Amino acid sequence: MARFRSMLAAACLAVGTVSVTACSTLPNEVNRNKIDTDSREALATLYAQNDAAKAIGSKARAVLIFPSMVKAGLGIGGAYGEGEMRHGNAVSGYYSSFTGSWGLQAGAQSYGYAVFLMNDDAVKYVEESEGWEIGVGPTVVLVNAGVAQNLSTTSLQDDAYAFIFDQKGLMAGISIEGTKINKLD
């Protein structure tokens, strides 16, 4: 029990640090090589494990990939990670993703997510906005197992489709609603 409390205290400290950092200033210098490597590997794994993601990826204009988000909370929580936008095999920019939350929550976990941008307007919005809050701007559909079964590449009508993958840890539920995505220098 003492070990669990120590882990929870560390998670809360991490959330506080991430929250202050993400809300005040973003890093001036990101490790682009690590983000590139992790993003390519995460996207390849997602495609290998999820046929719907692979099919949507083949039709997408661009994909925002966040290979490693860290989420922690005790009453107040947050998640933070860095990723990139890819147009095919080319990287067009580096981004951070931050989500704040409050309510009945305790624990920590990691996960990744990818947002497939399906049209030029959605890509332009992300590239030119002063930060994209998911739920405002382009319409995003969170694809879970049930949604994936009913998707076909001919029925794709929304601006963006999001997939959450590689969840690990002790915290229930993940949502990307309210997530803020900012372009990094």
Kindly report, residue by residue over 15-32, the tens digit of the pLDDT: 444 444 444 344 556 789
Write the CB contacts of 149 (distance below 8 Å, at least 6 apart in sequence): none
Q: Which of 35, 88, 64 is nearest to 160 (CA)?
A: 64
List phi, psi (to 5°) of 156. Answer: -70, 110
For residue range 42-74, list pLDDT tens digits in order: 999 999 999 989 999 999 999 999 999 998 888
CA dist 171 and 64 (Å) reads 24
For 109-142, the pLDDT digits (tens) are: 899 999 999 999 999 999 998 888 887 888 888 8
Look up the pTM and report it: 0.77
What per-residue confidence (pLDDT) applies to 4?
A: 36
